[in-house]
Amino acid sequence: MQDKNRFIKIDFKNSDDQIQLNKNKIIHVLFFTEKNIIISKGMDNHVDLSKFLKSFLINNSSNNIVVRSEKGSFFLVKRKAEDTKLNDDYLERLGGKIYNSIKALGYSEALIYEDNCNINQRIALGILLSSYKFSNYKKIKQTEENFLNSIIFKCKDSEKNLSLFNEIKGIAQGVYSARDLVWQPPNILFPLSFADECTKLRNIGIKVTVYDESQIKEMGMEALLAVGRGSRKDSRVVVMEWMGGEKNSSPLAFIGKGVCFDSGGLSLKPPKSMEDMKWDMGGAATVTGLIEAVALSKVKFNVMGVLGLVENMPDGDAQRPGDVVSSVSGQTIEVLNTDAEGRLVLADILSWTEKKYKPQFLIDLATLTGAMIVALGNVRAGLFSNNKNLSEAIFKAGETSGEKVWEMPLDDEYDQLIKTEIADMKNIGGPGAGSITAACFLKRHVEKTPWAHLDIAGVTWKNKSSPTIPYGGVGWGVKMLYQLIKDHKEI
Ligand code: BES
Ligand code: ZN
Ligand code: ZN
């Protein structure tokens, strides 16, 4: 659906490598802190130059400065500290800001002077993420012109940087794919075409299995199929497996809500709320991007992704409020609101994955409730878990990567709110605590495996861009979960 390799050109050169420069088109990027200009090995005549540039930093200027002189153009970028204290998120955002500024200034090439490999890598990731663009459906030529096409890091060890950069590109590719999927319109991306996108990942060593409706029925997923009944489009379940770990070690499992369009079903949404519902497959998009990143970087764990792909529509055969359906867990559900469909899909996928694969943990991602946006806005995702170690690990990965979460409670009193007379549970709670009752519903479909649920309704789509996230699909969670996997210690 999208051509790969659409990254801006980024390269790493040693201090003494000769680079052909076009003086008028290039800008040199240097960093300074409260105390000083940071001198890297790659700066020629650095004593002279730093003295010259220093004269522009009056009173340790608090802002970035552009210097245009006969010595060339320089961009002095303020940074909090020289080295180790800077976290990944800070550096990526710095990279994003550098990219956006240079683009706005109209230069076509940039040379960034920095010797620390980790700093370079994170700045490079920030640049890749901020230069993402989805323009598949723009046929009329855009007036906006972007000249910036090449960024070179002048550094101490270009070879080490280049090999580390492979991993960064893998992560960025995962985020790009997740964003692309979120952006795609629902007439193009529906369960079948989504599953087709997943099968392309076979090219990079991922085992992909796609289950059709008759197979899904045999698997006992009555709740998932009930959601898809109101749509002309068939439902699909996709399993993606990356076997980078020991043959017999159990996998880390990630589960994605893949409602390719959520009209609400017979409990139809009002038009305004429906406008956003092409991205109700954001969880599935993140899981797909994550598995791609894991495979591209050849991570040494067994990691799997399971997607429940459906479309929630209101035709004559749609499920009705009042229907009672059963689930893989054997428990029955009264469907009182057909718009609370995500939990029906996830319930079946969660118990099926737990029973069949016995994973070390289960993490599901879902644009599950509007109430999550009321609670946490567009800043943090909601985290719900039955396991302290897992929730702490996720929280930590969130703080480092900048894809932050906040833990929400799962007290038994909330769980009581989904009791009903006719079945084992109903698919909605009372008027309050909508995100928590939804999570309680999911919890009932996991038996004993450490499990976490991430409600990403508020963070999947951004209407306002930030340094590393342009307007639109975010690909939220790819970076954070990649970090979580890398930090994982086998139990
Ligand atoms: N997909 C929606 C949740 C959603 C809303 C995601 C806004 C992103 C932005 C979900 O399927 C839904 O409709 N949930 C209902 C649940 C209610 C009927 C209990 C909701 O949040 O209103
Ligand atoms: Zn819904
Ligand atoms: Zn939904």
pLDDT tens, the chain, 491 aa long: 655 579 999 999 998 898 888 888 999 999 998 878 888 877 766 667 888 888 888 766 778 999 999 989 999 999 997 776 799 999 999 999 999 999 999 999 999 999 999 999 999 999 999 999 999 999 987 777 789 999 999 999 999 999 999 999 999 999 999 999 999 999 999 999 999 999 999 999 999 999 999 999 999 999 999 999 999 999 999 999 999 999 999 999 999 999 999 999 999 999 999 999 999 999 999 999 999 999 999 999 999 999 999 999 999 999 999 999 999 999 999 999 999 999 999 999 999 999 999 999 999 999 999 999 999 999 999 999 999 999 999 999 999 999 999 999 999 999 999 999 999 999 999 999 999 999 999 999 999 999 999 999 999 999 999 999 999 999 999 999 999 999 998 65
**pLDDT at res. 55:** 85
Residue 50 burial (C-beta neighbours within 10 Å; 0-12, 13-18, 19+)? middle
- Interhelix angle 388-401/478-487, rounded to 10 degrees, is 120
Q: What pLDDT is attached to residue 1?
A: 60
For residue 114, report the distance from its CA to the centre of ligand 2, in Å. Answer: 48
What pLDDT is attached to residue 54? 85
B/e letters for 413-425, b = 16+ CB within 10 Å, e = fewer, are ebbebbeeeebbb
What is the distance between the alpha carbons of residues 423 and 202, in angstroms, rounded to a whole number?
41
Q: How far is CA 333 from CA 88, 280, 438, 444, 462, in A?
A: 43, 22, 13, 11, 34
**Catalytic, out of 169, 343, 404, 479:** 343
Beta carbon of 196 within 6 Å of any ligand 1 atom: no
Q: Which stretch of DSSP H or E encloses residue 210?
A: strand 207-211
What is the C-alpha separation between 88 and 94, in angstroms, rounded? 10
Q: Does 269 participate in catalysis according to the annotation?
A: yes
Q: What dihedral do alpha carbons 114, 119, 120, 124 form, nearest 10°?
A: -140
Choose, from 179, 269, 278, 404, the residue flagged as catalytic.
Answer: 269
Instruction: Output the CA 382–ligand 2 centroid distance in Å.
Output: 17
Query: Burial level of 95, CB count in 10 A (0-12/13-18/19+)?
Result: buried
Residue 23 and residue 19: Cα distance in Å, rounded?
11
- pLDDT, position 2: 56
Instruction: Give the per-residue pLDDT at 36.
Output: 83
Is 427's C-beta closer than 6 angstroms to any atom of ligand 1?
A: no
Report the pLDDT value the prediction gives residue 19, as an integer from 0 to 100.
87
The predicted pLDDT at position 3 comes to: 54
Give yes or no for residue 428 CB within 6 A of ligand 1.
yes
Assess whether 207 carries a catalytic annotation.
Answer: no
CA distance to 209, 214, 254, 305, per residue, from 240 (Å): 7, 19, 10, 5
The pLDDT value given to residue 10: 98
Query: In whole angstroms, what is the distance from residue 186 CA to residue 192 CA?
Result: 11
Ramachandran sector of residue 108 (left: φ over 0; alpha: ψ -120 to 50; beta: rest): alpha
Alpha carbon of 340 to ligand 3 centroid (Å):
7
Q: CB of 468 closer than 6 A to ligand 1?
A: no
At 416, list the tokens.
Answer: 């009581």
Can you tell me which atom of ligand 1 is nearest the CA of 276?
A: 9
For residue 225, give the nearest of 346, 345, 354 by alpha carbon: 345
